[in-house]
Structure 1
Amino acid sequence: MRILVVGAGAIGGYFGGRLIEKGEDVTFLVREKRKQQLDQNGLLIESIYGDLKLKPKTILSGDNTDPFDVILVSTKAYQLKGSMESFHSYVNENTMILPLLNGYAHLDKLVSEFGEERVLGGLCFIESTLDNSGKILQTSPVHELVFGERSGEKTKRILKLRDSFSGAKATFTLSENIEQEMWHKYLFITTVAGITSLFRSPIGPILEREHGLKTIEKLLNETAAIMREIDAPIDVHIKEIQLKRIMGLSYGMKSSLQRDMEKQQPTEADHFFGYLLQHAKEKGIESPVLLAIYANLAVYGAGLFSLK
C-alpha cells in the first residue's frame, strides 16, 4: 500500500520510520524546512527498540503525485485545517484517512471534508519528542498505534491495512471497538494533560499530595459525566480504570501539552477542554475543575500571543 504520513514529527515520524524499516512504501508530506532537514540528515530515530537513520521519500504540498491508499495524520489539532488543505489533492474515492490526534472533535472536521466512508478511527500510545536537531527521541516501552473501522467491522480494506502494518518493530493493533478506545484515551489525556498543565508539574508530585489526588479524581468525575451525557461509549468502570493507570505513571511524566507550554508553543486547549465545556454548557453540567484548566490555558495563550 502507498502510505502518506502528514508531517514527520515525534509521532508520525516514528511510526512512519518503523514502517519504512519494515519495507513499506511510505512518503512524508512536510514543510520546506523539514524537507531540507530530512534530505540533508535523513530521518533520525533514537529509540530503546533500536536507532534508525533512514532516507525517506518526501513531498511538499502541491507536488504532483498520485493519490495514496492511506493517509496517516498525526498533526496537532490547531494544525488540522492547514493539514487537510495540504493533502486534499492526494485523496481519491479509495483513500483511507487514519487520524492519530487525541480527542474527538477532529473526526467531525475530517468527515465533513472527506466523507464518512474515508475516515478511520485511530490513536496511539507513545512517549516521543523531537529535539532541536530534528531527531525523534522515543524513550518508554510503549509504542503502540491502534486503528480500526469506526463501525467496528473487519472490512477487506482494514484487513489489508493490518497486513501492511504487521511485522513492523512497533505495536500496530487492529481494534473492533475503536470508538470506545478513542473516548477512553480522551478521558485519560484530558485528565493527565489538564492536571499537569494546571499545576505546572510532572504527575508524581501531584499524586503525592492529598489535594492533588482529589483534584484528579474530581476531574475524572467531571469529564466522565459530560461524556456519559453526550452518549459517548465509555465503560461503566472507566473512572476507576483510568485512575489506576494514572497512579502507575512514572514520577517525572509530563504531558505533551505541558511540554508545549514549557516551549512557549500553542496548545490544544480548545480541542481537548473547550469541546467538552461546550457540551457541559449545553447540558447544564457544572465542571469547575475543567473550567479552571481551560481558563489557565486561555491566560497562557493570551500571554503567548502578546509576546509576538
Structure 2
Amino acid sequence: MRILVVGAGAIGGYFGGRLLEKGKDVTFLVREKKQKKLDKEGLIVKSSYGDICLPATTITSYEKSEPFDVVMISTKAYHLADAMNDIQPFINEETMILPLLNGVSHIDDLTSVFGEERVIGGLCFIESTLAEDGTVVHTSPMHELVFGERSGESTQRILALEKVFSGTVADIRRSDQIMTDVWQKYLFIATMSGVTSLFRSTIGPIREQPTGMATIKGLLAEAYEIMTSAGMPVDSRIIDVQLNKINSLNANMKSSLQRDMEKGQPLEAEHFFGYLLQKAKEKELDTPVLSSVYANLKVFENTKQTFTR
C-alpha cells in the first residue's frame, strides 16, 4: 500500500517516520526547500521511544506520480486549502484520505472537494514539535493515531489499512466509532488549547489555581452543551473522562495552539472556536468562557498584525 504523507512536520513527520521505520512505502509531499533538506539529511525524529534517521522519499506538487492508496493530512486548518490543491494529482477513485487535523469542520471541506467515499475518519494524540533544524521532536509519552470508516463499518479497505499500520512503534489503532472519537477529541482539544492560550501557561499552573480549574470546567461544560445541542455523538460521561485526562497531563504540557502563539504563527481560532460559537449562536446558547477564549485569540491576532505592519 502506497502512503503519501502531506508535509514532514511535527505530526506527519512523526507518524510517517514510524511507518517508514517499519519498512512501509511512504512518500512525503513537501515544498522544494524541504525536499532538498530531506534528500540530503534524511528524516530525523527524536523520541523516547527510539530515534529515527532514515532516507525519505519525497515529492513536490509539481512532480508526477502514480496515485497513492492513502493520503495522510495533518496540516494546520489554515493550510488545508493548499493541501487539498496539492494532493489532487496524486489521488484516484480508490484513494483513502486520512485527515489528522483537530476539530471537525475540515471533514466537510474535504468531502465537498473529494467526495464522501474517499474521506475516512482520523485523529491523533501527540505532543511533538519541529526544531529549527527541521528535526521532529517528540516530547511526551503520547503518540496515538486512531482511524476508521466514518460509517463505522469494517470494510475491506479499512481492514487492509489496519494491517499496514499494525506493528509500528507508535500506538495506531482502528476504531468502529471514529466520528464519536473525533468529537470527543474536539471537546478535549478545545478545552486544553482554550485554557492554555487564555492563561499563556502550561496546564499545571492553571490546574493549581481555583479560578483556572473553574475555567477548565466551564469551558468543558460549554463545549459539551454546544455539541450535544447540535446532535453530535458525545455522551455525558465524557466530561469526567476529559477532566480526568486533563488532570493527568504532565504539568509542563502545552497545546499546539499555545506554541503557535509563542512562535507568532497563524492561529486556528476560527477552526477550533469560531465553529463552536457559530453552533452556539444557532442554538441561542450562552457561552461566556468560550467567548472569552475566542476574543483573546482574535485580539492577539489583531495586535500581532498591527505590530508587524
Shorter-normalised TM range: over 0.9
Mapping of residues 212-251 of structure 1, within 5 Å: 212-251=212-251
Cα separation, 2, equivalents of 1:32 and 1:287: 44
- Partner amino acid for 2:207? L
Larger mean Cα displacement after TM superposition, 182-191 or 237-246: 237-246
1:37 equivalent to 2:31? Answer: no
Q: CA deviation at 1:303?
A: 2.0
For 1:277, the equivalent position in structure 2 comes to 277
For 2:68, the equivalent position in structure 1 comes to 68
For 1:173, the equivalent position in structure 2 comes to 173
Q: Normalising by the residue count of structure 2, what TM-score does the alignment of the two structures yield?
A: 0.98
For 2:118, the equivalent position in structure 1 comes to 118
Q: CA deviation at 1:42?
A: 1.0
- Partner amino acid for 1:254? K
- Partner amino acid for 2:54? L
Q: Which runs of 4+ in 1 moved over 6 A?
A: none
Q: CA deviation at 1:12?
A: 0.4
Cα separation, 1, equivalents of 2:269 and 2:24: 35
1:6 equivalent to 2:6? Answer: yes
Larger mean Cα displacement after TM superposition, 272-281 or 298-307: 298-307
- Partner amino acid for 1:226? I
For 1:209, the equivalent position in structure 2 comes to 209
SS in 2 for 1:118: coil
SS in 1 for 2:5: strand
Cα separation, 2, equivalents of 1:53 and 1:147: 26
Cα separation, 2, equivalents of 1:75 and 1:42: 20
Cα separation, 1, equivalents of 2:299 and 2:82: 25
Q: How many correspondences in the alignment?
A: 308
CA RMSD of aligned residues (A): 0.8
Q: CA deviation at 1:305?
A: 2.4
Cα separation, 1, equivalents of 2:88 and 2:100: 17
Mapping of residues 254-269 of structure 1, within 5 Å: 254-269=254-269
Q: CA deviation at 1:39?
A: 1.3
Mapping of residues 80-159 of structure 1, within 5 Å: 80-159=80-159
What 5-or-longer segments of structure 2 have no aligned partner? none
- Partner amino acid for 2:136? I
1:23 equivalent to 2:33? Answer: no
For 1:185, the equivalent position in structure 2 comes to 185
Cα separation, 2, equivalents of 1:81 and 1:263: 22
Q: CA deviation at 1:142?
A: 1.5
Larger mean Cα displacement after TM superposition, 297-306 or 193-202: 297-306
Q: Normalising by the residue count of structure 1, what TM-score does the alignment of the two structures yield?
A: 0.99
